[in-house]
Amino acid sequence: MGLLRAVGFFHGSMFLFSVMVGSGIFLSPKGVLKYSSLNIPVSLGIWGIAALLKMMNAVCLAELATTFPVSAAPYYFLKRSLGSSFAFLNLWINIFGYSLGISAQSLLIAGCLLQPFYLGCQAPELPKKCLALAVLWSLGFLNARGVITVSWFNTISSLMKMVVLCFICITGVVLLVIGKRENISRFENALDAELPDASQIAEAILQASFAYSGSSLLLVLAGEVKNPAKTIPKSFIFGMSTVAVLYILTNASYLAVLSPQEIISSDSVAGTWMNKVFPSMQWVITLLISVSLINNTACGILSASRIFYTASQEGQLPFIFSMLNNHHCPVAAISKIIIFSSIAVIPSSLVNLIKYLMLSSFVLTELYMIALLKLRYQEPHLHRPYKVWSPLIFGSMSTSLFLIVLPMIKTPTMELIYQAIFFLSGFLCYWLHTYLNQRYGFFDKITCYLQLLFNVSPTEKSDSIFMQ
């Protein structure tokens, strides 16, 4: 018994659309414009640069997923190349990163759904949190039905999101072609605006990268992809290039209607845009934004569960998380991320949360590139169905290092120190896990009861599947 290889090129591309097109395009324009010093050409350029950097990272990581086409391929690859401690660090970062991200998205979904009923004021916190929990657990039950059910749900909702973005893009193009003075005036003197410094550009790229985050989902699902050697690289190139074009056109449409100051002061740029262009249809964009976020959250739950599944197989999480139900789904791992996300409390603003998630992402990217180079040196004759051009690996390493180090040098804050302590504490927890983990008889009894509760059974380990 094992995970099903049921994701082809079409569903793989739809997964990329669904996980990337979400809260990022509705939240990140605010942060990108802010750190671009309200410079319109620079902000649009940042969106293109972030897309190229993410695509460069993706095609590099595609090599590890095609070399080891197992579930949670990045985690497995780190363990194979750099050892168990760095694999545990990957797990440590992802446990908190996914919990915070999924929790924030659930609250955002609840806020979007409730806001039309509270015009002129903020929705109350208690109904928002109750609705967020209801959405979260509903998506957990959906994921428990297996990857095929989730892929069809994502395909339908992704097509809806693409329709929304295309509508915004076409409307913006029409407004610019018509040439109304208020629509094109802010583009005329855009080159005279103030230029941001290097640290601000790095911060802006971090904000834009959030909109492209989630592309690693296809790497996490490598054990469920048909013909991964061809499907994964093709899906990355097609999916990410399509999303990049849509994002640049969408931001141009925002700027054709809204001033930079209006974008900065808006909590939902798309909602403010719709309220100005089609005031009577604002509820439509609110509903479709909620659908986008629901889709994005479902993919986050799917991705997190596969990481916990593989970590359980490798002995770094309890054995119950690697057992599958009759839908070939690790339902105990899904329950874990749902519970963690339900109790997660987000003390910081969404902009600060984006910075934390993106910094974690670039730290992991740096580790993946080091592991890729090390394995090339140690095992040059290992079969690699897809091999990326070496300069792209060094380019990805240098840009990730730049985006990690520059903000620390230019604007050191206590928040960055806390993040560094959090990363290093992962090694301490690994030491405690390795040297203090004792095995007691009642653990087996608890596993047995949980196995009966979830109706799950053990699977083959990734190593044995890979060797076949």
Q: Summarize pLDDT for 122-146 with one digit per residue, the tens.
A: 777 788 888 888 888 999 999 998 8
Element spanning 225, H or E = none
In a domain, residue 60? The reply is yes
> 404 pLDDT exceeds 50?
yes
Q: What is the pLDDT of residues 362-402, one digit of tens each?
A: 788 888 888 888 888 888 888 888 888 888 888 888 887 87
In a domain, 426, yes or no: yes
Say how far apart CA 462 and CA 55 lie, in whole Å: 27
- The reported pLDDT for the residue numbered 468 is 35
Considering the domain boundaries, does residue 57 fall inside one?
Answer: yes
Categorise residue 83: left if φ over 0, alpha if ψ from -120 to 50, beta otherwise: left
> CA distances (Å), 361 to each of 24, 146, 463, in order?
15, 27, 26
How many domains would you assign to the chain? 1
CA distance 110 to 154: 19
Residue 3 lies in a domain: no
Per-residue pLDDT tens over the stretch 286-312: 677 777 778 888 888 988 898 899 888
pLDDT tens string 337-368 = 998 888 875 544 444 555 566 677 778 888 88
- What the block records as the tokens of 231 is 């499907």
- Rounded Cα distance between 468 and 466, Å, is 5
Residue 1 lies in a domain: no
What is the amino acid identity at position 62? A
Domain membership of residue 4 (yes or no) is no
What's the length of the chain?
Answer: 468
φ/ψ (deg, to 5) at 222: -60, -30
Helix (H) or strand (E) holding 298: helix 282-313
Instruction: For residue 125, report the phi and psi dihedrals to the nearest 5 degrees.
Output: -70, -40
> Is 215 strand, coil or helix?
coil
Helices (H) and strands (E) in the chain, counts: 20, 0
CATH of the domain at 363: 1.20.1740.10
Beta strands in 333-398 (DSSP E): none
Q: Is the pLDDT of residue 432 over 80?
A: no
pTM of the model: 0.79
In-domain check, residue 2: no
Range of the domain at 57: 9-467
